[in-house]
Amino acid sequence: MRVLIADDHPLFRDGLRSLLEARGIDVIGEAANGREAVELARQLKPDIVLMDLTMPEVDGLAATRILATELPEVKVVVLTASDDEADLFEAIKSGAYGYLLKNLETDEFFRALEAVQAGVPVFTPRLARHVLKEFGRGEVRRTEETTLTERERELLELLVQGVTSNRELAQRLFISENTVKYHLRNIMSKLHLENRAQVIAYALRTGLVRTHQNGPAT
């Protein structure tokens, strides 16, 4: 896994580099702002860019939009202190493959990176649940949404709670991984969306799935 770090705080970059390299991850570059992040990504073609949001010259959202357009094979994961749902939605709209908070537990952080490397979008579960609760009272407006089956809605609930790997989804729903893929394809087709990140963002924004007062089981 080849990673580029983009953050305007040198101490944070140094600490993150040490943490990643201790796990055998190749940190191929560091950027202090969005402009540098874009330039280095163009040159180095990393697998993942860990992108802060608030940076000088070019901010993280603008840099993410550029990379999503120019280098769609590079997965941008926002790594930020902001738990503002507006930032989450803007990051996803900009093309981010994930959204993680800097206070994430170390093991959870590395599991998220492994998921991204495997092609699975990631979001900090606590933030996802918070946003879902805020938007869960919204009314369903698109007719396509009413055609989702109960199983598809159950899968959506798990996605927005942060369960994003096919294996764990299959275990939680007592179905096969192939069946998970089948349901995901159906959901994306019915909602006219292209990937899991868009599905999660849409579900959070519209309150498409039910909320749980006590949160998901752990």
Report pLDDT for 205: 64
Name residue 77's beta-bridge partners: 50, 98
The burial class, CB within 10 Å (0-12 / 13-18 / 19+), for 78 is buried
Task: For residue 100, give both structure tokens.
Answer: 């993680």
Task: For residue 162, give both structure tokens.
Answer: 């942060």
Q: Which CATH number fits domain 131-206: 1.10.10.10, 3.40.50.720, 3.40.250.10, 1.20.1050.10?
A: 1.10.10.10
158 membership: H or E segment, kind and range: helix 150-160
| Topology match between the domains 2-123 and 131-206 | no
User: Given the structure tokens 């369903």, which residue do they identify?
Assistant: 140
Report pLDDT for 60: 94
What is the phi/psi pair of residue 73, to 5°?
-75, -15
In contact, 3 and 44? CB cutoff 8 Å: no
Closest among 68, 140, 74, 79 to 106, alpha carbons compared = 79
Find how far residue 75's CA is from the centre of its chain.
10
Overall residue count recorded for the chain in this entry: 218
- Confidence category of residue 135, pLDDT binned at 50, 70, 90: very low
Q: Where are the domains of the chain?
A: 2-123, 131-206
In contact, 199 and 169? CB cutoff 8 Å: no
**What does the pLDDT look like over 75-87, one tens digit per residue?**
999 999 988 877 8
**What does the pLDDT look like over 137-190, one tens digit per residue?**
444 344 455 578 889 989 988 888 878 788 999 999 999 999 999 999 888 888
- pTM of the predicted structure, to 2 decimals: 0.65
Q: Which CATH superfamily hosts domain 2-123?
A: Response regulator (3.40.50.2300)
Name residue 30's beta-bridge partners: 5
Asked whether residue 195 carries a pLDDT value surpassing 70, the answer given is yes
CA quadruple 48, 53, 56, 61: dihedral positive or negative? positive
CA quadruple 82, 84, 88, 91: dihedral positive or negative? negative
Asked whether residue 115 carries a pLDDT value surpassing 60, the answer given is yes
Name residue 76's beta-bridge partners: 49
Name the residue type at position 98.
G
